Amino acid sequence: MNPSLENESRISEARIEDFENRFFAHIRLLLDQGYLAMGKNDCWQKNEETISGDLREAIDSILDDPSESWMSCYQVENEKPVQQHWRPKAERTREGKSRQKIDLELSTAEKIPRRRFSIEAKLLRDSHSISAYVGDSGIGCFVNGEYARDENAAGMAGYIQTRTLQDWTSGIEEKMEEKRKEIRLVSSPAWGQTSHQVASASVMASEHGRIDSLRNIDLLHFFLDFRKQAGSDQKREEAASQPC
């Protein structure tokens, strides 16, 4: 390869990596600030659609009055229908009102085509929650290529309504290991902490293969605390963890 072309290629790769790093950092910050800004009264008993809608509204308000210049490049949507554009029209299994819907999608117009980050949200409140999170309607939506088909990263959001963060993360990790083959789990152990944590949420990351020879996808797992009297519970947990 011509040395000048090789150098240009390296510069281009460095720019792409820089953009990717900034993009994911922005996603984390917007989710964090949206969570802190939204009203959380009674969220411990609300359904997922309502909480996701409230979170979208809070993020949208932040983007309408941006405190940093990069925020003007982003937009947020929720309940966005999946078009199944990769299938011939006659083979599309869901159309119109029956289409699957992405709970939250953050996107940027900084690059063309736009970079998108899809998030599937699940309530964490009862004995069925872990199976739903790891199953076909949770992580499976990304593994089967229905969501974020053209992206190399996406997110899962766990809305904690009962129990503790540790209860849910350990239970989900165990289920992911149990279903390693079904969810095409590549990472070992199942997940790990990301390099960019945020103040109000625990963030984990896992890597999965996908069907149809699609490239692997990195999933960021955001756990947001919506428990009743979550602040008091957190203080009790922190106090219990302190040495006597």
Instruction: Find where tokens 């009743």 sit.
Output: 228
* Predicted local distance difference test score (pLDDT) of residue 10: 44
- What is the β-pairing status of strands 115-124 and 101-108? antiparallel
> How many Cα neighbours within 13 Å face the side chain of 214?
23
- One DSSP character per residue, 127-149 reads TTHHHHHHSTTTTHHHHTTSSST
Burial of 25: CB neighbours in 10 Å, binned 0-12, 13-18, 19+: middle
Are 73 and 108 spatial neighbours (Cβ–Cβ below 8 Å)? yes
pLDDT digits (tens, 9 = 90+) for 82-98: 775 555 555 556 555 55
Query: How far apart are the C-alpha atoms of 208 and 21, rounded to whole Å?
Result: 20
User: Distance between alpha carbon 67 and the CA centroid of its chain, in Å?
Assistant: 23
CA distances from 161 to 69, 124, 146, 233 (A): 34, 6, 27, 12
Domain count, the chain: 1
Amino acid (1-letter code) at residue 206: S
For 67, the domain range is 3-241
* Predicted local distance difference test score (pLDDT) of residue 206: 96
Mean pLDDT by 10 residues, the chain (244 residues): 47 66 91 91 93 96 94 92 60 58 88 84 96 97 92 95 95 97 95 72 91 93 87 44 42
Query: How far apart are the C-alpha atoms of 238 and 236, rounded to whole Å?
Result: 5
* Predicted local distance difference test score (pLDDT) of residue 111: 64
* Predicted local distance difference test score (pLDDT) of residue 135: 97
For the CA atoms of the chain, what is the radius of gyration?
Answer: 19
* Predicted local distance difference test score (pLDDT) of residue 232: 45
* Predicted local distance difference test score (pLDDT) of residue 193: 80
